[in-house]
Amino acid sequence: MRLPSIEQASREARDTVVRFPFALLAAGIAAAAMLVMIERTGPDRQYGRIILPALAAIPLLVALATTMERRQTRPPLRLAVSLAAVAVMVPMWFASARWTDIVMVTHYVHLDVAFHLLAATLPFAGFSAGRAFWHYNRILFLRFLLAGLYAAVLFAGLAIALLAIDKLFDLNVDEDWYFRLFVVLAFVFHPWYFLGGVPRDIDALNERGDYPGGLKIFAQFILIPVVTVYLLILSAYLVRVVITRTWPSGWIGYLVSSVAAAGTLALLLVHPVRERTDSRWVDAYGRWFYVLLMPSVAMLLMAIWQRVDQYGITERRYFLAILALWLAAIALFYAVSASRNIRLIPVSLCLVALGTFTGPWSAYSISSASQASRLGAILERTGLLTGGELRTAASPVAFEDRKEISATVRYLVSTHGPRSLGRVSRDMAAVADSVARADSLVAAQDEPIARAVMDRLGVEYVNRYEAVPENWLNYYANNIGVALPVAGYDYVLRTNLIQRTAVEVAGDSLILEFTPSPPVMTVRRGATALVMPLGELLVRARQSMDEMARGPSNTRPPIVLDAEGGGLRIQLRVWNVSGRGGGAEAQLNSAEADVLIAIQPGPPSSN
């Protein structure tokens, strides 16, 4: 293997700039925006509006450049097409000003996936795929991994060098330099090196018959066996679902999607050996994989239908449903036809990704409309909405309904913005918008806005941490780095209140006992006792979580209870509590607390 000289490396780097000027410019813009963002304190979504579209534009510009290069397009037309691609991103930049952070990230990740698939398939539009299609994408795949490995090694080496300079010469190197180094390597070096390996003569790849041995070993003897094991697990779970007549778990979506992705990747990697006589089992596996996958896809569709029927459509459920339908179509096609046309997989998935990005059928329009419709139906059923006009609650609203209303309002606000509530009621959108405009910090949060909307309805808000009353509640206070005064007390004891604890204080034996129903802690000092009800703990825990949801603070203070009697003054600072119910009907599971004990002067009282 000949090592390239510095002159050769420089020449190849210049050639890469000439081949992909706009793609490298987009990478440079993303890197520059991130470097400028480092100099500022606090998050600024304006930089995200530059970084995300620039990163999404890279694969689009690469797809266009390689396609026009193969078609030998004239330079003026290449420039015009590239500028048109950049111009397409400009309206999105203006539109992103109205998007929430969640929608903005989802939009650009969606585009990024579609454009990467486009880069893998567009150069072959109008051409026979042949061997070139597989070799071209294999080269891109391995080059991308190699570029990542080189960038990671460079970062580790240079970061250690910065650390050595910092420690040896006492230069106090700013920690931001490590981030700057990462940005340059990830967004300048990585794409530059990767693009330097994009094949120029795609037609010549049809003549290649080589196949990397390491790739074959990985696909045939590691990836395919692992996928087989998980297919067997899914098949066994299907049998369990049929026998027990229960709906598939919602978690099945992640497993089916992962197995399908891994199995498809394995088949793509071993595609060249499917015709070899010594690897005919791979060809059989390629067909039976999709046959065995179809029942799992059916389970996935059942699980999605159940969730949609209960809670409506969200972006995640939309994408999962579209993926399941695409998998069903692909599995049926390959199972019936036994086709070896691998180009169909990325081409069809690219079309699905582009087709679901915008329009009234897009993930974002349908999910917003579904949740708004669902919210409107709940409000009408509970008498809070009539003819599009909000009504104040005339009677108590059930906890489950309040929880559903609160959760749906939070979703619409956090995902689609306060104005999305206008699909339900103009008044509701006006309340949400006025709260968002009043405070820039609150505008980025869903809790305060949802609370204001619920106040307008005259219904008590249910925060995201509040459980159904008969279900368990878990409360964890912030007890790390918190210093609290203990003046006025003689002893501090950390204990679980539901356990019996005996300690020696002031020459007496002090015993803490717990009674489960009603929940009471009894502190005995000799013949006297102090009885301290604990049912208030869960009530106070819910109140504390509710207070936390009102504003930007994430502080969870300990729950403080005081009692006096039996010659003692006791203060409980409860850090963790779990249980259900509240008050006299509370059921405590655990309650970890600091018990502050003050011995009162004089003989213990008899109460």
Residue range 151-163: mean pLDDT, rounded: 95
Find tokens 């008969």 and name the residue. 470
CA Rg value for the chain: 32
Distance CA(478)–CA(545), nearest Å, equals 12
HEC profile of 211-255: CCHHHHHHHHHHHHHHHHHHHHHHHHHHHHHHHHCCCCCCCHHHH
Q: Per-residue confidence at 368, pLDDT binned at 50, 70, 90?
A: very high
Q: Is 482 helix (H, G, I), strand (E, B) or coil?
A: coil
Distance of CA 145 to the CA centre of its chain: 24
pLDDT on residue 158? 94
The answer to whether the Cα torsion of 415, 420, 425, 427 is positive or negative is: positive
With cut-offs at 50, 70 and 90, classify the pLDDT of residue 443.
very low
Question: pLDDT per residue over 449-469, tens digit each?
Answer: 888 888 888 888 887 766 665
Q: Are residues 132 and 202 in contact, defined by beta-carbon separation less than 8 angstroms? A: yes
Burial of residue 372 (CB within 10 Å: 0-12, 13-18, 19+) is: buried
User: Does 172 score more than 90 pLDDT?
Assistant: no
Question: What's residue 607's pLDDT?
Answer: 43
Residue 345 predicted with pLDDT over 60: yes
The whole-model pTM stands at 0.76
DSSP 414: I
Interatomic CA distance for residues 239 and 233, integer angstroms: 10
Lowest mean pLDDT among 141-155, 230-244, 313-327, 363-377: 230-244
pLDDT on residue 133: 93
User: Which pLDDT value is given to residue 485?
Assistant: 82
Q: What's the pLDDT tens digit per position in 21-52? A: 999 999 999 999 999 888 775 556 788 888 99
The DSSP 8-state label assigned to residue 124 in this structure reads G
Distances (CA, A) of 604 to 527, 566, 600: 9, 5, 8
Q: What is the dihedral of CA 366, 371, 374, 380, to 10 degrees?
A: -120
Contact status, residue 384 vs residue 148, Cβ threshold 8 Å: no
Please tell me which residue, 276 or 120, carries the higher pLDDT value: 120
Residue 512 Cα distances to 175, 292, 534, angstroms: 50, 61, 13
Give the range among 120-124, 421-425, 432-436 with minimum mean pLDDT: 432-436
Q: Name the band, by pLDDT with cuts 50, 70 and 90, for residue 441.
A: very low
Confidence of residue 431 (pLDDT cuts 50, 70, 90): confident
- Using the 8-state DSSP alphabet, how is residue 478 labeled? -
Angle between the 280-311 and 224-244 helix axes, to the nearest 10 degrees? Answer: 40
What is the torsion angle, in degrees rounded to the nearest 10, for the CA atoms of residue 386, residue 391, residue 394 and residue 400?
Answer: 80
User: Rounded CA gap, 532 and 564, in Å?
Assistant: 9
Over residues 471-483, the mean pLDDT reads 72
pLDDT digits (tens, 9 = 90+) for 291-300: 888 888 888 8
Helix (H) or strand (E) holding 597: strand 587-599
Please give the pLDDT value at position 195: 96
Calpha distance 289→431 (Å, rounded): 53
How many Å separate Cα 361 from the centre of its chain? 23
SS3 549: helix
Is residue 605 scored above 50 in pLDDT?
no
Q: What is the pLDDT of residue 606?
A: 45
| 595, pLDDT greater than 50 | yes
* Exposure class string for 422-434: b at 16+ Cβ within 10 A, else e: bbbbebbbebbbe
Nearest to 13 by CA among 201, 200, 189, 145: 189
Residue 446 carries which side chain, given as an amino acid letter?
A: D
Q: Which of 85-94, 198-207, 245-254, 409-418 bottoms out in mean pLDDT, i.e. has the lowest? A: 245-254
User: How many CB atoms within 10 Å of residue 602?
Assistant: 7
Q: Left (φ > 0), alpha (ψ -120 to 50) or beta: where does 407 sit?
A: alpha
